Copies of this chain bind each other. A is one copy, B any other.
Amino acid sequence: MSDRLSTTFAALADPTRRAILARLALGETSVQKLAEPFAISLPAISKHLKVLEHAGLITRGRDAQMRPCKIDAAGFIGVEHWLEEYRKLWGQSMDKLESHLEVMKAQQAVRPAPKKKSRSVKRQGEGNARKD
């Protein structure tokens, strides 16, 4: 997969990782804190962080035995720049489409309480990744 952009997009193609980024958008924090909201193991989180770091989406420091993670613009810039090319393709209509998206997101946000889900749903539910 080699190239940087592919690596970055691949990193973003996972709801858990996007949720981590969303959390980091609020500020630097430790791996443990990052892991809290998820129903997956710490090593799994650690792997996600490695992927994000490798994609240039986060950086990691060191504070005692903690490795605080911080969101990093670099990876985002790559995507931003790539998008640039296409943005001009639908110039005007973009606004309309964006507000349409807005509506869809709103609908999704207010959808009624889920019906009884039963069935041991241990794996963190795919659709629940917040904030992406």
Q: Are B3 and A126 closer than 8 Å at their CB atoms?
A: yes
Interface, chain A (partner B; CB < 8 A): 1-3, 5-7, 9-10, 12-15, 18, 21-22, 25, 71, 73-74, 76-87, 89-90, 93-94, 97-98, 101-102, 105, 121, 126-127, 129, 131-132
Q: CA–CA, A128 to B6, complex, Å?
A: 12
**Residue in B25, B85, B94, B129 whose CB lies within 8 Å of A86:** B25
Q: Are A126 and B1 closer than 8 Å at their CB atoms?
A: yes
Q: Are B6 and A13 closer than 8 Å at their CB atoms?
A: yes
Contacts A79-B79, A84-B121, A127-B2 given: A89-B101 contact, CB under 8 Å?
no
Number of copies: 2
User: Is chain A's binding surface mostly helix, strand, loop or mixed?
Assistant: helix
Q: CA–CA, A13 to B73, complex, Å?
A: 19
Q: Are B25 and A5 closer than 8 Å at their CB atoms?
A: no
Q: CA–CA, A94 to B1, complex, Å?
A: 27
Q: CA–CA, A102 to B77, complex, Å?
A: 10
**Residue in B1, B76, B83 whose CB lies within 8 Å of A13:** B1
> Chain B's nearest CB lies how many Å from the CB of A55?
10
Q: Are A97 and B77 closer than 8 Å at their CB atoms?
A: yes
